[in-house]
Amino acid sequence: MIRLLVLDVDGTMTDGGVYYDASGNELKKFAIKDGAGIVLARAAGIQIMICTGRECEAVRRRAAELHVDHLYQNVSRKAEFLGQFLAEHGFAREEVAYCGDDLNDLGAMALCGFVACPADASPEVLARADCRCPQKGGEGCVRGAVEAILRRDGRWAEAVHKAFGVTLETGCGR
């Protein structure tokens, strides 16, 4: 069962673009659906880690809004960093999922029991992924990855109820 979801930012939680305002501040667009996915994951007891190679105040703010458990920016060697984190915190490979989109994520993905990626990920990541989300980066792929994890683990309906107070109806014809 997944206990930790590791998320890349640029190209996964965002469209991968770098935007600057007139003052030189870096701006990013985040999908609200991805926020809902993080809320669902947390409702199911999954810890969230954001691990990104860049540093941006917008990422810090979004992580705070979503009550992300672990935020690490300026991580140049994700596999090395994640391997150390998992060992220090006692996570087994099969308890960790990763959602990323590009070559710099491949090493860290190899340490995880479940890998998801956006539809527009690099060919190498698409080939490695257990779940190829139909959404592009920044358009809800994190939400798609969370749904795939929770459905796989049989926790989907319970998480939806806990997060949003909605009871999903099941059965024939529904």
* Whether the Cβ atoms of residue 146 and residue 37 lie closer than 8 Å to each other: yes
| pLDDT digit string, tens, across residues 87-120 | 999 999 999 999 999 999 999 999 999 999 999 9
Annotated domain spans of the chain: 4-164
| Average pLDDT for the chain | 96
Confidence (pLDDT) at 173: 46
Fold of domain 4-164: Rossmann fold (3.40.50)
